[in-house]
Amino acid sequence: MIVDVNVNLSRWPFRRTPCDGLSRLVATLCEHQVHEAWVGSLDGLFHRDVGGVNARLANACQATQQVRLVPFGTVNPMLPDWQEDLRRCAEDHRMPGIRLHPNYHGYRLDDALAAELFQRAAERFLIVQVVVRMDDVRVQHPLMQVADVDVRPLNDLVAACPTISVLLLNWQPAVRGAERTRLVAHPQIGFDIAMQEGVGGVANLLNEVPLQQVFFGSHLPLYPIESAWLKLHESDLDEPRRRAICCTNAHRKRN
């Protein structure tokens, strides 16, 4: 069984994808033995009514029976009353975490608002997912060029919030070398495999990132789930390591 920590509901505005309808997305998850998916909403990147986005996300997850969809709400600290959006995620919708898109919402991780957001999330024991990129820069719309999130300030944010639990999504193309080493040193930061490339890529990743910090993530529907599934199975991994990446690490992070 698999816990996919990187799934999105709704439609990507720049192109249609095979699984951008809820029923097809759920069927695809079931076909690939995903029993639980942590899902955000693509609407959260572009809509100003974040409260409405999160309510629709929570309702869609609650109404789905075939696979467990776990909602991760959007919080945009550049919008008025974002603190109330955070409260609703935790108290009204009982979400275990939030998903952040600093590059789409126009702030940096070293901004004072980001520090406040991380502190408030830590106080509520919310997992904070930071999406480093959504799409390859080579296929972005010419009028919608979005740079990768600069994750260097995460070192200070995590140091200031030692109880925070962070999960980086779609991070591989942007976070390399010494910066990756600094982030890996924080055991409360996890890393998904959605954009891990190369033959034996997941096994190679485990040479640099401890097993307990690696998570199965597909980036469905923008990426086919088969990509993450094949990355996992073509690597030379024994069953305990495969199980840790597929589900054990995610269960531990939620508890």
CATH code, domain carrying 106: 3.20.20.140
Task: State the DSSP code for 241.
Answer: H
Quick: pLDDT tens for 93-102: 999 999 999 9
Q: How far is CA 50 from the centre of its chain?
A: 17
State the pLDDT at residue 140: 87
**pLDDT tens-digit profile of 177-231?**
888 999 999 999 999 999 998 788 899 999 999 999 999 999 999 999 999 989 9
Looking at the structure of the chain, the number of domains it has is 1
Instruction: Tell whether the model's pLDDT for residue 233 goes beyond 90.
Output: no
Which domain, by its residues, includes 133?
A: 2-254
Cis peptide before 221, with omega less than 30 degrees from 0? yes
